Amino acid sequence: MRALITGVSGFVGSHLAEYLLAQTDWEIAGTVYGPYDNISAIRDRLQLYPAELSRLPVVEFVLEQTHPGVVFHLAAMAVTGKSWHDPAATLQINLSMQANILQAIVNLHLDSRVIVVGSSEEYGAVSERDLPVNESAPFRPLNPYAVSKVGQDMLGLQYHLSHGLDTVRVRPFNHIGPRQSLGFVTSDFASQIARIEAGLQAPLMRVGNLEAQRDFTDVRDVVRAYHLLAQHGKAGEAYNIGSGRAHAVGEVLNMLLCQTSADIHVEPDPDRMRPSDIPRVVCDYGKLHECTGWEPTIAFEQSLADVLAYWRLQVRRGREE
């Protein structure tokens, strides 16, 4: 088996590559657009292609070279907050890359399975009566990034129905872990704490909405679900991936603050507030469990400890350089 991971050097892509190398005998190829830092330890074990996936000929070239049995399409403009500032770019980039992956498979007559990575953001404006959210919930996106993910999701379904492509759609809820970039709540909190501990920032943390409750899952559990669905998922179906538990953002902050001896003051920052937000989100992952037996295994507390350890290391390396 050969797998192609688009965005292999990203947060999720690097964890997926590590997992597949450790747990399978698959050959792993990947597309890269940006730094290689996250895959430095495994780079020599990967077949890498610097690629701009918004160009169809480039995508066709990569697929011709790799002939993957499964494509994990992870490359995307993925920061929700940034999508408010440039919605057109978010839509154009995410939809064009997804369409090109699918169309290239059609053009090349490949029989690759495609894991189409959507997001729980597709469900958007869920109410308490909708919880936990299952795959039949309607799409009510609240931001441009969510709209782009609805589009990717529907492209996966459309190509399955109209071309018979072997697509499996996944809708992961919030996932966290080492290597996640800034712009996400746990990384933003942990990076500030690490900088304060190192004396690089005043002992003040600026935060957004602490009341919102979200379903957080460790990225290492998420990529395990991707692998299981690549093997056992039903073509054309969609699967939620989440922990089935909600944690308030304030709880996340408090748990991280408990891991530092620094005396840190917290104050709200209007610039970190989203134009729209919902009080509580919880995932129903029953369909995934029924199909694959998947359950989350990494404790939330461990995930947060690992995130903070990662940012402490990044700050230390930055000072040494």
Q: Average pLDDT of 268-277?
A: 71
160: pLDDT strictly greater than 90: yes
Q: What is the pTM of this model?
A: 0.95
Domains plus CATH for the chain?
2-176+216-241 (3.40.50.720), 185-214+245-281+299-320 (3.90.25.10)
CA-closest candidate to residue 122, choices 143, 144, 139, 98: 139
pLDDT at 321: 55
pLDDT digits (tens, 9 = 90+) for 35-57: 999 999 999 999 999 999 999 99
60: pLDDT strictly greater than 80: yes
The DSSP annotation for 207-219 comes to E--SS-EE--EEH
pLDDT at 122: 97
User: For residue 222, which amino acid is it?
Assistant: V
Beta carbons of 77 and 136 less than 8 angstroms apart: no
Q: Average pLDDT of 63-67?
A: 98
User: For residue 177, which amino acid is it?
Assistant: G
Residue 199, CA distances (Å) to 40, 136, 194, 266 in order: 28, 49, 9, 17
pLDDT at 81: 67
Give the Cβ contact number of residue 154 at 10 Å.
17
pLDDT digits (tens, 9 = 90+) for 102-144: 999 999 999 999 999 999 999 999 999 999 999 999 999 999 9
Q: Dihedral angle at the C-alpha atoms of 26, 29, 34, 36, nearest 10 degrees?
A: 50
16: pLDDT strictly greater than 90: yes
pLDDT at 78: 73
pLDDT at 131: 97
pLDDT at 147: 96
Beta carbons of 53 and 70 less than 8 angstroms apart: no
pLDDT at 64: 98
Confidence of residue 274 (pLDDT cuts 50, 70, 90): low
Confidence of residue 179 (pLDDT cuts 50, 70, 90): very high
275: pLDDT strictly greater than 60: no
20: pLDDT strictly greater than 80: yes
Buried b (16+ CB within 10 A) or exposed e, 186-212: bbbbbbbbbbbbeeebeeebebbeeeb
> Per the structure block, which two tokens stand in for 290?
């029924």
